[in-house]
Amino acid sequence: MHRIWTALLAAALLSTCLPCSGGEIFRWKDAQGVVHYSDRPDAGVAAEPVQLRPDPPPAAIPAQSQPLKQRPMKPGVPADPVPLDIVMYVMPNCGYCAQARNHFRARGVAWQEIDITASRAAANDFKAHGGTGTPLVYINGGRFQGWNPEGYDRALARLGYP
């Protein structure tokens, strides 16, 4: 993973520095084995010049052969998904909370999770929302008490997440 980030960083540095520098770019490893790229190597290291390839001309990029397919419009469903605001009040070792987490993960949506046992403020917030059991889920203001995958899915579909 470290090598990938190093390569990406090197590519970014090379693409931003090269047009303005007009000089060579060098690659070398330090005593710890870390690869470095720069327009001038550190003194006393064996550095090798890097051969850069220019970007292909715009004409070489193939044109898209087919238009993008648009999602069919359904009555009552927005054309573009509405930004989601999902808040889930949970307790540790709650099986229904785990099922709700897995459901949202499978749907590919993000949520904010509040453990009602983590602090007095979280417990008071849960009670203020009328919570009687977990999970207590809010999807863009819509309230769902307990494990209710059908209800979650209907709310997500109304917001443009089929």
What residue ranges do the domains of the chain occupy? Answer: 2-54, 86-158
Nearest to 152 by CA among 111, 114, 80, 103: 103
86-158 classified as CATH 3.40.30.10: yes
CA 118/CA 91 separation, integer angstroms: 9
H helical segments located in 22-115: 95-107
Q: Are 135 and 129 in contact (CB under 8 A)?
A: no
pLDDT digits (tens, 9 = 90+) for 141-154: 999 999 999 999 99
pLDDT digits (tens, 9 = 90+) for 14-67: 554 444 445 677 777 777 777 776 777 777 778 888 776 665 555 544 444 444
Q: Are 99 and 147 in contact (CB under 8 A)?
A: yes
Q: Which residues of 77-111 are buried (b: 16+ CB within 10 A; e: fewer)?
A: beeeeeebebbbbbbeebeebeebbebbeeeebeb
